[in-house]
Structure 1
Amino acid sequence: MKRTRLENTPCPAGRALDLIGDWWTLLIVRDAMRGISRFSEFQRSLGAAKNILSTRLKALVAEEILKVEPAADGSAYQDYVLTEKGLALQPVLVALGQWGSEYLFEEGEACTLLVDIENRQPLRKLEIRAQDGRVLESQDITAIIPEI
């Protein structure tokens, strides 16, 4: 089946998924947030084929989610570093991880836990809030679809 492009949809989620919706892409961003920066480190962590990893890294650089810099250690290698646009994906990955840990693991099953570096406590579950600070539930939210 041919993949439908969503780059021109008026839906922000659709456009975002068009760009970062494949699982390799999000796992690369996740690993970059954990400090991985070299091609070989991404490959070792993800087990991705070189051609797939190379394609995804090039796309992330082209979309300015990652940037390429000379290696921090002065070697001939290059580092892939998250940009501001890439770092802004952290709440997306936190929300996805919180959903996964809540619904995809059995009681007592080992699961990666995100913690606050300072006090090593688990992160509070992300909440959706209105402009005035109220916590919103799904029934409190609607989409306004522009007329085209």
Structure 2
Amino acid sequence: MASRIRLEDRECPLSTTVQHVGEWWTLLILHDAFDGYTRFDQFQQSLNISTSMLTTRLKTLVADGLLERRPYQSNPVRHEYVLTGRGRSLRPVVVALAAWGNQHLAAEERAMILVDARTGEEADPVVVDARTGRSLDDSEMYVFTAGPAASEAMRARYTELERRRPAPDASVSE
């Protein structure tokens, strides 16, 4: 099967991330794992997914290091699928995707919301810069640029984008 990543995007973290989690079932399986599901039959019942599709997706998640396959029963041998640190680190991404989906629905149309487990108060997830606390949704304030490992093609891309970008507003302070 041909790779879905364009040759010029092989170094792009967005492209490589989508290769790991961009499949429909993958995000739903991860969502169930964040809710505490670990066993094949739990995922299958929750998602109403075929055995073959679930087997394939779980194998991929294990191979990608997002889930770990562990035996929980010896006779017959049965395995559970436990989130790894790498898998757990995707939770904010899934939370942000769900929040984005809910932003486009009326309150009475939302089937799932994020709440504070202690108070029951609805949370309003935002993605912020850890250093400044500012929301990252401002595409004029936060822009992508070439990183230290960028190829010449990637550097050229961002050099061109910087040329087209308006000059920063000097009145904005940190």
Relative to the length of structure 2, the TM-score reads 0.74
Question: Matched residues in 2 for 1:40 and 1:115: separation?
Answer: 27
Match of 1:71, SS?
A: strand
Q: Which runs of structure 2 are paired with 1:45-56 in the superposition (5 Å)?
A: 45-56=46-57
Identity %: 35
Q: CA deviation at 1:129?
A: 2.0
Which has the bigger relative contact order, CA under 8 A and spacing at least 6? Answer: 1
- Cα distance, 1:130–1:83 mapped onto 2, change above 3 Å: closer
Residue 164 of structure 2 corresponds to none
Please report the RMSD computed on the Cα atoms of aligned residues, expressed in angstroms.
2.4
Paired residues, what number? 146
Give the Cα–Cα distance (whole angstroms) in 2 for the partners of residues 134 and 101 of structure 1.
Answer: 21
User: CA offsets, 1:22-42, max 9 Å, x none?
Assistant: 110011000011011111111
The question of 1:99 aligning with 2:103 is answered no
Do 1:6 and 1:15's aligned partners in 2 also have CA atoms closer than 8 Å?
no
Partner of 2:168: none
2:135 is matched by which residue type in structure 1?
V
Could you tell me which residue of structure 2 aligns to residue 11 of structure 1? Answer: 12
Question: Residue 127 of structure 1 aligns with which residue?
Answer: 127
Write the distance in 2 (CA, Å) between the matches of 1:38 and 1:112: 22
**Following the alignment from structure 2 to structure 1, what is the Cα–Cα distance between the partners of residues 134 and 11?**
27
> Contact conserved, 2:38 with 2:80, CA < 8 A, in 1?
yes
Runs of 5+ consecutive residues of structure 2 not aligned to the other structure: 154-174
Which residue in 2 is equivalent to 1:111? Answer: 111
TM-score (norm 1): 0.86
Partner of 2:58: 57
Q: Distance in 2 between matches of 1:47 and 1:4?
A: 27
Corresponding letter in the other structure for 1:13 = L
> Any stretches of 5+ residues in structure 1 without a counterpart?
none
Residue equivalent to 2:29: 28
Query: Does the CA contact (< 8 Å) of 1:6 and 1:18 recur in 2?
Result: no
